Amino acid sequence: MGLVEFARSPWGQDVPIHIAWFLIYVCAVGGLGFLIVHAIYVRYFAKEEEFAGSTSPQVAATVPARVARHSFAARAFHWIMAAAMLTLLFTAFLPKVGVQFPWVTYHWIAGLVLSASIIFHIIHASFFMDFWAIWPNKQDMEDASNRLKRGLGQDAPAPRRFAKYPFENKMYHGVIVLTGLGAMLTGIFMMFRVRTGIFPRNPYLFGDMTWGLTYVLHGLCGVGLIALVIVHIYFAMRPEKFVLTKSMVFGDLPKEYYLSHHDPERWVVTERSLAKGAGD
């Protein structure tokens, strides 16, 4: 049972045409399996969260009652992207599991919405937000390693409180960047294979082998996104993380949550910095 399906070209060559569709189930079950194992671990085995250091009352007094976390533009991007992503997943995979409907047009239109929102996000994050806030650094890795050791019952110092984003969120973002860009770039080329009315159809843009590999890469990114989206929605719904989900709707966090989970030296949010737009 191969991971890729092949077909014979008119020239007698075996060329890949797309991924084997059983990978849909592998990724869906993988995502669901992860959340079941995680939920059991948190419920029965995980210890109480513990961080090193605390904030002085003087610094705490400079923190506003509600701490801005996501600007309106960042929230709009997130929800437009989420709607496009879910539409892409359902239009792509429902027909493969037996729910037949003319999906291709809905699919590429949602693909264009996703692509536009990703391009907007790249420009917004590069020039208007703190670009480096979402990429892992040495401190994150040290803290993550300490948390893992403590989780496994080994001796390790308590980790520092987080900057704006914890290490796990940064890693998740990195993986979604790779899979999202992979699906987007291959998808834009695949639009040359269908009649869109936007540009002339040109199935001869690439040879059979290149087209095949493009479809395989699109499919691999696509099934990967099934697992990633399941895991993302699971964390968004967990009771202890729900405060963060609400911040993606309303834009801010309560001061108490900020002080207990974030280090004001690593994520600076005084009234003055908020006025300068640090709430992106």
Interface with ligand HEM (CB under 6 A): 18, 85, 88-89, 92, 104, 107-108, 111-112, 114-115, 183-184, 187-188, 190-191, 193-194, 215, 218-219, 222, 225
| Nearest distance from C-beta of residue 203 to ligand HEM, angstroms | 9
| Nearest distance from C-beta of residue 46 to ligand HEM, angstroms | 31
φ, ψ dihedrals at 256, nearest 5°: -60, -45
Nearer to ligand HEM among residue 27 and residue 268 (C-beta): 27
Torsion on CA atoms 171, 174, 180, 184, rounded to nearest 10: -170
d(CA 144, CA 153): 14
| Nearest distance from C-beta of residue 1 to ligand HEM, angstroms | 17
Nearer to ligand HEM among residue 19 and residue 278 (C-beta): 19
Nearer to ligand HEM among residue 187 and residue 264 (C-beta): 187
Nearer to ligand HEM among residue 90 and residue 234 (C-beta): 90
All residues at 6 or more sequence positions from 247 whose CB lies less than 8 Å from its CB, including other chains: 69, 70, 253
| Nearest distance from C-beta of residue 93 to ligand HEM, angstroms | 6
Nearer to ligand HEM among residue 104 and residue 144 (C-beta): 104
| Nearest distance from C-beta of residue 26 to ligand HEM, angstroms | 14
Q: What is the DSSP letter of 162?
A: B
